[in-house]
Amino acid sequence: MAEYEGMDDFLQDWLKKVENISTKLTPKQQAKITKAGADVYMQKLQAVTHNKHYSSHNDKTHGHAADHITDQAKNVDGKVTGVSSVGWDNSYHAMIMYWLNDGTRKLRGDHFITNLQQSEEVQEDVLKAEAAEYQKLIREEGDDL
């Protein structure tokens, strides 16, 4: 174990290790980490959408928006860049949920998506899932990172 003269030396060494690891992660590895967080966020978005905006209306064409939330280990354009995306699998549901969240001239928005995104509890759960996946990746890859 390295000897440090003070907290400043320890933090500098720690920062170098973090920078080294972060620059060595490939976009595919980064996407694997962010996908773990996206899975958690997707479950929470499905739950809040089901609780706040599920109706008995039986739309045979599109189904219900709460049942059509998906995630992917890619950006919105379908490219592996290290980010993951969560959203509705068709533009009809996305548009309706946008209106319900933000409102229109005649419809008052309830900001259910915005509130979910800004919830400290949700952010903490997403970060815990990402941290667990990161630790798993570190264990698997070992000193290669």
pLDDT, tens digit, 9 for 90 and up, residues 7-16: 888 888 877 7
Give domain status of residue 44, yes or no. Answer: yes
Looking at the structure of the chain, the number of domains it has is: 1
- Between the CA of residue 13 and those of 7, 18, 52, 131, what are the distances in Å? 10, 9, 48, 21
Give domain status of residue 36, yes or no. Answer: yes
Give domain status of residue 12, yes or no. Answer: no
Token digits for 138? 């570190």
pLDDT band at 144 (very low <50, low <70, confident <90, very high): low
Mean pLDDT, residues 52-64: 82
Give domain status of residue 95, yes or no. Answer: yes
Give domain status of residue 2, yes or no. Answer: no
Give domain status of residue 99, yes or no. Answer: yes
Give domain status of residue 19, yes or no. Answer: no
Give domain status of residue 123, yes or no. Answer: yes
| DSSP for residue 81 | S
* Residue 51 domain boundaries: 26-144
Buried b (16+ CB within 10 A) or exposed e, 77-114: eeebebbbbbbbeeeebeeebeebbeeeeeeeeeebbe
